[in-house]
Amino acid sequence: MEYIIEAFLIACTPLNLLALIGSTLLGLVCGMLPGLTSTMAVALLTGLSYGLPTQTALIVVISVYVGAISGGCQSAVLLNIPGTPASAATAQDGYPLAQQGKAGLAIFLATTSSFIATVISIICVAAFTPTLSAWALNFGVYEYFMLSFFGIVICGNLTAKENPLKGWIAGFVGLFIAQIGLESINAIPRFVYDNVSLRGGIQLIPVMIGLFGFPEILNAFQRSGKKEIGELEKFNPIEGLRIIKNNIFNIIRSSFIGVSVGIIPGVGEDIGGWLSYWATKSLSKDPDSFGTGNPAGIIAPEAGNNACVGGALIPVLSLAVPGSTSAAVLLAAFYLHGYLPGPLLYTDSPDFVYKLCVYMVLASFAMWALALIVSRFSVKILGIRAELLMPVILMLCVIGSYVVRSYKFDVYVMFVFGILGYLMVKMNYPAAPFMLGVILGNMFDSNLRRGLLLSDGSLLPFITRPISAAFLVAIVLMLLSQLGVFRKISAWRKAKKAAQTS
């Protein structure tokens, strides 16, 4: 309770209040504009807020995250183009409702359900993180190595669109990038080639900004054209509140789906939105009305995707394994501001989780209020063309990469990883496992070598220790299933049986 009051008082100082409102607003606008993702917004703000006091910087990144996830619904409703992938499912019923002249109501429903779901997910963060952290205290070097490997494999599995192999490759390349620089045990330079700038290693923020911000800037060179935007009519808030009241169980169910999806490493908010939409449609008495402007079809995906915000933070805070791409970027932001998420977080910074929860509740309230105000200007904001926006974003990417260390080399790093990020997008390689690899690289390397040193080169502890063995079994099963080994065995058995019977 003491921590919660303290966090509330910190957030209520004029500077922090301004940061909270400004960042939430910025997040909303970023989420609203197709092409600017929540991950990009958090990555950019992490770099830009580096010079701010720690608590203010935390408020900034959390607020922009909450705002960006929610902002996507406005363009989904008005343009039928989700501002972020998380709002893709919202467009299914949001746009038809807007075409019926109820765009204002659709945005109200989406925003209110987002707010309620975020608060539910934050309650889950406060409830589950200590339990998971306490369990993770049993982790030793072997478990940490396996956990980092598991994170890469599952993230690769879930984020690669058609081929998990590409996700694993992206993760392994990310792990390799983290090996550049002085290694952590004996300070031997690796892959440095007499370049002094590389000795300190590749910094997270320029990589992050390059990977997630740069591809959209380059895309602006390819596309142009005007967008058709619908009009926003006035609506009756009482009608909106009545619909919310009638859908309260829908919101609670979707929130729990969102939290569960968010906890799984690598699965983004878009899956949370789609799963909630699917569940609501399946359980509805009138499933045929979905896709034609059913309010439940707006409430469910918005509650589902926003609940992922809290869900994704649970593994970040307790295990230091992010639940989504945006959460991976948040993890980097926490590291940058001196917080080390993981099992020891409650020992080192017992107040951190509670402060984070308070900031998130305040940010989600600000998001709700601001989204309703902003919706009046949505039509104008959505009219901004990418050609006008992207050059300014480019300048912010440069600044964001530079300000962390005031080092020009980081801007070059951002450019190189930006090109790599663009090529990865075009060739269907997911950026999330790559980023996760860069984050977990040091954990992977140091724990593997320390473990082998402790066991004198024996691999047995990786297999004999229960938690480590469980991770190993999960990794092997995942690799084999994705490579189609089980399918082949089953086909071979069937063929053998058929041969025996004939």
Partner 1 sequence: MKNNHVREQDLVTSVVLFFAGLFIFKESVALSQISLSRDISFWESAGLTPGLLGILLVFCSILLFVQSVKKFEKGTLRSSMKEWAVGLYQSKAVRAVVIGALIIGAYTMILFRFLPFWLCSFATLVYLFIHLKATTWKKAAIISGIAVGAVVILFEYIFHVPLP
Name the residues that contact partner 1, by CB under 8 A: 50-52, 162-163, 165-166, 168-169, 172-173, 175-176, 179, 183, 185-186, 188, 190-191, 214, 217-218, 220-222, 224, 385, 387-388, 390-392, 394-396, 398-399, 402-403, 406, 408, 411-412, 414-415, 418-419, 422, 426-429, 444-445, 448-449, 452-453, 456-457, 483
Which among 304, 323, 305, 326 is positioned nearest to 313, based on CA atoms?
323
Tell the smallest beta-carbon distance from residue 19 to partner 1 (Å).
12
Cα gap 122→107, rounded to integer Å? 22
In the bound state with partner 1, the residue whose beta carbon lies nearer, of 302 and 445, is: 445
| CA–CA distances in Å: residue 374 to residues 16, 69, 149, 236, 400 | 21, 15, 43, 17, 26
Please say whether the beta carbons of 443 and 181 come within 8 A.
no
**Within a 10 A sphere around the Cβ of 258, how many other Cβ atoms?**
35
Please say whether the beta carbons of 118 and 66 come within 8 A.
yes
In the bound state with partner 1, the residue whose beta carbon lies nearer, of 155 and 307, is: 155
In the bound state with partner 1, the residue whose beta carbon lies nearer, of 116 and 440, is: 440
Tell the smallest beta-carbon distance from residue 502 to partner 1 (Å).
29
Tell the smallest beta-carbon distance from residue 212 to partner 1 (Å).
15
SS (H, E, C) 315-384: HHHHHCCCCCHHHHHHHHHHHHCCCCCCCCHHHHCCCHHHHHHHHHHHHHHHHHHHHHHHCCCHHHHHCC
> Residue 182 — φ and ψ, nearest 5°?
-70, 130
Tell the smallest beta-carbon distance from residue 247 to partner 1 (Å).
35
In the bound state with partner 1, the residue whose beta carbon lies nearer, of 100 and 428, is: 428
Contacts of 285-292 with CB under 8 Å at 24 or more apart are 290/92, 290/93, 291/92, 291/93, 291/96, 292/93, 292/96
Residue position matching structure tokens 């959505």: 382
Tell the smallest beta-carbon distance from residue 28 to partner 1 (Å).
19
Tell the smallest beta-carbon distance from residue 180 to partner 1 (Å).
9
Tell the smallest beta-carbon distance from residue 119 to partner 1 (Å).
32
Provide the CB-side half-sphere exposure for 157 (13 A, CA).
19
In the bound state with partner 1, the residue whose beta carbon lies nearer, of 132 and 403, is: 403
In the bound state with partner 1, the residue whose beta carbon lies nearer, of 123 and 475, is: 475
In the bound state with partner 1, the residue whose beta carbon lies nearer, of 186 and 500, is: 186
